[in-house]
Amino acid sequence: MNMRTPLKTARNLGSAKEGADHFWKQRVTGVANLVLGLFLVWLIASLIGADHAAVKAKLANPIIAMALLALVVSGTIHMRLGMQTIIEDYVHGEGAKIVCLMLNTFFACAIALACTFAVMKLSFGA
């Protein structure tokens, strides 16, 4: 006997009303980080022994800058989601949990902004 309403079955939401959204975001950003991390390894390997002008020219390429920005965004989202899971599992006080989750979000945003600034500065050659 199924106790779900047809609408609940169609939406496939659990008791937290989020369904598998968090799970899938974590997996998608994990795969993106794998691909973009391999790109970063290739980029660093291709720049070994290069002089400053060659590195500057390579980082000024818009494709390279966009890939690095994608890595920053994907990495910080993945980091935030992972820490959110840890906080939700191991911080038991409701007030402390809310504060930790807010600090986690602020920290992830600060890291993303700092990394984005660094990539943009390198990309525009400043």
Tell me the C-alpha distance between 40 and 75, whole Å: 12
Check if CATH label 1.20.1300 holds for domain 25-123.
yes
Question: Nearest-CA neighbor of 65 among 116, 110, 30?
Answer: 116
The pLDDT, as a whole number, for residue 29 is 97
**Left, alpha or beta for 12 (phi > 0: left; psi -120 to 50: alpha)?**
left
Taking a C-beta distance cutoff of 8 angstroms, is the pair 100, 87 a contact?
yes
Q: What percent of the chain has pLDDT over 70?
A: 84
Tell me the whole-structure pTM to 2 decimals. 0.81
Determine the Cα angle at 105 with ends 102 and 113, to 5°: 140
Tell me the C-alpha distance between 108 and 36, whole Å: 18
Enumerate the domain spans of the chain. Answer: 25-123
How does the average pLDDT of the chain come out, rounded? 90
pLDDT digits (tens, 9 = 90+) for 45-95: 999 999 989 999 999 999 999 999 999 999 999 999 999 999 999 999 999
